[in-house]
Structure formats: structure tokens, C-alpha cells
Amino acid sequence: MRKRQRLTPLVSDADRELFEQAIGPVRRHQPAEPAQALPRPEPEARQFALDEARVLDELLTMQFDPAEIEIGEELSYLRDGYRPDLLKRLKRGSFSVQDEIDLHQMTGEVARAAIVGFLAEAQRRGLQCIKLIHGKGLRSRPGGPVIKRLVDKMLRQRDDVVAFASARSEQGGTGAAVVLLKLKR
């Protein structure tokens, strides 16, 4: 490429001298180096965000209220008129479980009958502490953990139940309930 020659100066020497007297000495501007390209942003997981939003929508349209009883939620109940430390002792495992029943794989109706029969037998035998293994409802349909809800509801309605709570983790955790029964007099 050929350089262009200036035929006439753009600024005369007299103008340049006058400018320097008014402004001061001048130096030629050196352009700065071009800015480095900014790093590319991380990829955005759009599908993940959409999936998370769908989960929130599904929770709002579910047939059962997950706040009512959720998988893994602890059961806890103490009948009115009993000291709160009784429930604390039950949760800590201070009472020895004398018998248990496993309600896994039972339908609601079969489990209801089994619970009624088991509680009657426990009362007849004079047992004070029993365990109902209801499971966590991990394979439940949208209606939630059926047997766990059934156990919670039935035990609250029974006069012979003083207290119940989810078992300690080594006894089944939130998949089982330890029940304290009234002693026969």
C-alpha cells in the first residue's frame, strides 16, 4: 500500500506556535491497545430451570396437600392431660418396644383391620409400648403415603393411645411409629 503524501500542511507553523503558547507543549496521542475480548458466559441450563418451574406447578395442583403429611415427615402426638416430657421420652427411645406389626404391602382397609386387631391384642396382653411399621410411602401414588396417613389418623382417634411418635432411625425412622398405650387397671 502506498503512503499518501501531504501536499500542503494542514496547520501553518504560525498557527502551531500560537496554539502551543495558549495550551502548552503537545505530544502525539498514542491509541490504547484494544480491550481483550470478555470471557464467554457459562452455558445456561434452561431445561433445568423449566423442569424446576414445572415441579412448583405440579405441587400446586397435586390431589393431596404435601404439607399435611410428607414422605419423611415425623409423626408426633400426645393426648391432652399428659406431661410433655412423656412424648420426649418416647421419641428418645426410653420405652422398650414390646411387639410390632408390619403394614407394608397392605391396602388401606386391610391395614385398618390389622391395626384394630393388633391394638386389641396388645391391650389384652397388657403391653405398654408397641411399634407400627407403616413405611414411608416412597412408592405411593399422587395421593401420598396412604398407610402412614391412616396410622396417624387412627391413633389420634383411639382412647387407648396416650402418645405416638416416629421411631428412632435404628427402629425404622419416619417409616414406623412407636405407640404408648394406656395401661389397663
What one-character-per-residue DSSP string does 67-113 give?
TTS-TTPPPEEE-TTS-HHHHHHHHHT-SPP-EEEE-TT--HHHHHH
CATH of residue 155: 3.30.1370.110
pLDDT category, 57, cuts 50, 70, 90?
A: confident
Q: How many Cα neighbours within 13 Å face the side chain of 125?
A: 12
> What value, to the nearest 5°, has the Cα angle with vertex 178 and ends 173 and 183?
170
Instruction: Indicate the burial class of 143 (C-beta count within 10 angstroms; 0-12, 13-18, 19 or more).
Output: exposed
Cell of 18: 500560537
Cβ neighbors of 45 (< 8 A, separation 6 or more) are: none
Total residue count of the chain as it appears in this document: 185
Across 6-26, average pLDDT: 78
The rounded distance, in Å, linking the Cα atoms of 148 and 129 is 18
* Residue scoring higher pLDDT (86 or 140): 86
Phi, psi of 44 (to 5 degrees): -95, 130
Higher pLDDT, 172 or 11: 172
pLDDT at 60: 67
Distance of CA 157 to the CA centre of its chain: 30
Please report whether residue 115 resides in a domain: yes
pTM of the model: 0.59
Q: Which range, of 41-50, 116-125, 170-179, averages the lowest pLDDT?
A: 41-50
| Residue 112: pLDDT band with limits 50, 70, 90 | very high
How far apart are alpha carbons 79 and 180 in whole angstroms?
10
* 11 within some domain: no
Position 103 in a domain: yes
**136 belongs to a structural domain:** yes
* Parent domain of 125: 76-181
pLDDT bucket at 176, cuts 50 / 70 / 90:
very high
Work out the average pLDDT over 156-167: 94
**For residue 69, is it within any domain?**
no
Domain assignment present for residue 31? The answer is no
Across 133-157, average pLDDT: 83
Q: For residue 157, what pLDDT is reported?
A: 94
Total domains in the chain come to 1
Place of cell 397388657: 126
In-domain check, residue 160? yes
174 residue type, one letter? T
Question: Using CA atoms, how far apart are residues 74 and 152, in angstroms rounded to an integer?
Answer: 10
Task: Give domain status of residue 32, yes or no.
Answer: no
From residue 130, give the alpha-carbon distance in Å to each of 17, 20, 98, 102.
107, 103, 6, 11
User: Residue 130 and residue 99: Cα distance in Å, rounded?
Assistant: 5
What pLDDT is recorded for position 66? 47
| 133: β partners | 102, 176
Query: Given this model, what pLDDT does residue 37 score?
Result: 83
